[in-house]
């Protein structure tokens, strides 16, 4: 595993003051020494060394070379970082020299993959590295930093410890009943610990349900009958004329999209066709699409013309969005307000929408999701595996409540264990046996 030397440009491939080329693999310090004039063979780890990159005896660039020995590196193997001048051409030339001397171009994510394979990070930490690169706001960044520091690893290890205590007790009772100092277990005696563990898992799943909003943004649909100012609101939020605004009903027939960040809260905005009865086939298709989006949205902005009395179409939309997470927006405040509803009064035409943006921030307090919860999963893969673990444990708990013998229950507990291990990218086949021998003096 990892027997070759890999290389890649680790900084942006644009003109800059400095570019950095990363090299990793066995004896890569000696490898770089072949085309670097500075003396690094005998230098200690984590030092910076001055010299030139050369090719066929010709100087290519003046560089600083960082060397990292042993396993206390990002990849868990010997590493070198070449800091050259940031021109596009010169960076490519230094990369060419590395490849010419025998290095292989790294695949996408291969440095992080090696860190995982070498045991420097677990799978949840590797995913967090990707998350911090793609973070769209400060909340997603904070979440990724927690993952990199091992927050997920920590609480998953705690769940595994609780579970292994239950499993090992069962196994000892099954395989070594002659041990006098081993407590004889029954399903009823295992139930409290198992039920408590199930509660912990479900609490983590519940706390993690809004993480998608933190990372990907809030899918926000603007709904209303024609000419209430939906497109004007979209343009005001995006601060650009993204949607066509006219006094002609049915102007917006298709979906218009855009994204906005409100103090770090990302809204993925969708302006929809005005919902009304129409004989126009194209407009009718847009209306049906608008209705579908209501059920897919994280937030519905129901726009009503506050300067007019409620119409029958407004009443239908109030009923249609009743079960959705919604904000009722009373638009056209510049023309007066005649509607008596509990909503946010704005004038999209005059860009007077601050009351709406404040309400959105209050409704989605993403910072509190991050700050108040240390036990949060960060992606769908982790959530799916914990759901499977929880389901397997739930089946075991139900079996215990039915007083089914413990040797029949342990299969579900094994399934729970395997899913917990998979969250961290660990193999789960033989480590249960290791735990048994570590915790009990069996067969000594």
Check the annotation: does 231 bind a ligand.
Answer: yes
Check the annotation: does 332 bind a ligand.
Answer: yes
Check the annotation: does 227 bind a ligand.
Answer: yes
Check the annotation: does 311 bind a ligand.
Answer: no
Check the annotation: does 210 bind a ligand.
Answer: no
- If 0-12 CB within 10 Å is exposed, 13-18 middle and 19+ buried, where does residue 69 land? middle
Check the annotation: does 230 bind a ligand.
Answer: yes
Check the annotation: does 334 bind a ligand.
Answer: yes
For residue 23, give the 3-state DSSP assignment. Answer: strand
Check the annotation: does 443 bind a ligand.
Answer: no
Rounded distance, CA 126 to CA 109, Å?
A: 9
Q: Which residues contact 253 (CB under 8 A, 6 or more apart)?
A: 273, 282, 283, 285, 286
Check the annotation: does 252 bind a ligand.
Answer: yes
> What does the block give as tokens for 363?
């409704």
- If 0-12 CB within 10 Å is exposed, 13-18 middle and 19+ buried, where does residue 279 land? exposed
Check the annotation: does 42 bind a ligand.
Answer: no
Check the annotation: does 229 bind a ligand.
Answer: yes
Check the annotation: does 114 bind a ligand.
Answer: no
Q: How many CB atoms lie within 10 A of CB 65?
A: 25
Check the annotation: does 106 bind a ligand.
Answer: no
For residue 386, give the 3-state DSSP assignment. Answer: helix
> What does the block give as tokens for 215?
């990372």
- If 0-12 CB within 10 Å is exposed, 13-18 middle and 19+ buried, where does residue 412 land? buried
> What does the block give as tokens for 398?
């139900």
Check the annotation: does 418 bind a ligand.
Answer: no
Check the annotation: does 199 bind a ligand.
Answer: no
For residue 370, give the 3-state DSSP assignment. Answer: helix
Check the annotation: does 253 bind a ligand.
Answer: no
Check the annotation: does 93 bind a ligand.
Answer: no
Which positions make up the binding site for K(+)?
227, 246, 248, 251
Binding-site residue ranges: 22, 81, 120, 227-232, 246-252, 271-274, 331-334, 444
Residues contributing to the annotated binding site for GTP? 227-232, 246-252, 271-274, 331-334
Task: Give the residue ranges of the annotated binding site for (6S)-5-formyl-5,6,7,8-tetrahydrofolate.
Answer: 22, 81, 120, 444
Which residues participate in the annotated binding site for Mg(2+)? 231, 252
């Amino acid at each position: 595993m990892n027997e070759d030397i890999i290389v890649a440009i680790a900084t942006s491939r644009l003109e800059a003051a400095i570019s950095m080329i990363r090299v990793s693999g066995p004896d890569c310090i000696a490898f770089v020494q072949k085309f670097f004039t500075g003396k690094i063979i005998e230098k200690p780890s984590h030092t910076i060394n001055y010299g030139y990159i050369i090719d066929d005896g010709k100087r290519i660039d003046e560089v600083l070379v960082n060397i990292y020995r042993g396993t206390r590196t990002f990849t868990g193997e010997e590493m070198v970082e070449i800091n050259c001048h940031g021109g596009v051409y010169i960076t490519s030339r230094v990369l060419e020299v590395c490849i010419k001397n025998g290095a292989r171009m790294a695949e996408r994510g291969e440095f992080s993959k090696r860190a995982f394979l070498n045991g420097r990070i677990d799978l949840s930490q590797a995913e967090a590295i990707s998350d911090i690169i793609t973070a769209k706001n400060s909340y997603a960044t904070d979440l990724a930093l927690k993952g990199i520091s091992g927050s997920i690893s920590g609480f998953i290890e705690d769940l595994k410890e609780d579970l292994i205590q239950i499993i090992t007790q069962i196994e000892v009772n099954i395989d070594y009943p002659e041990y006098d100092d081993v407590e004889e277990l029954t399903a009823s005696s295992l139930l409290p610990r198992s039920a408590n563990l199930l509660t912990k898992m479900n609490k983590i799943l519940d706390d993690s349900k809004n993480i998608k909003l933190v990372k990907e943004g809030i899918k926000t649909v603007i709904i209303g009958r024609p000419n209430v100012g939906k497109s004007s609101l979209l343009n005001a939020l995006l601060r650009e004329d993204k949607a066509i605004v006219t006094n002609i009903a049915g102007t917006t027939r298709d979906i218009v999209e855009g994204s906005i960040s409100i103090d770090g809260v990302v809204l993925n905005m969708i302006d929809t066709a005005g919902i009304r009865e129409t004989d126009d086939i194209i407009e009718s298709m847009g209306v049906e699409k608008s209705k579908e989006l209501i059920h897919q949205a994280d937030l519905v902005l129901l726009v009503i013309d506050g300067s007019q009395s409620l119409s029958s179409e407004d009443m239908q939309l109030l009923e249609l969005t009743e079960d959705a997470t919604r904000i009722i927006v009373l638009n056209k405040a510049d023309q007066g307000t005649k509607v008596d509803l509990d909503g946010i009064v704005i004038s999209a035409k005059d860009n007077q929408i601050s009351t709406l943006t404040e309400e959105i921030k209050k409704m989605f307090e993403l910072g509190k999701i991050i700050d108040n919860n240390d036990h949060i999963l960060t992606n769908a893969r982790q959530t799916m595996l914990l759901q499977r673990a929880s389901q397997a444990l739930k089946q075991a708990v139900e079996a215990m409540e039915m007083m089914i013998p413990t040797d029949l229950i342990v299969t579900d507990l094994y399934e729970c264990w395997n899913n917990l291990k998979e969250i961290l990218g660990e193999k789960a086949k033989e480590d249960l046996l290791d735990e048994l021998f570590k915790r009990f003096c069996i067969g000594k």
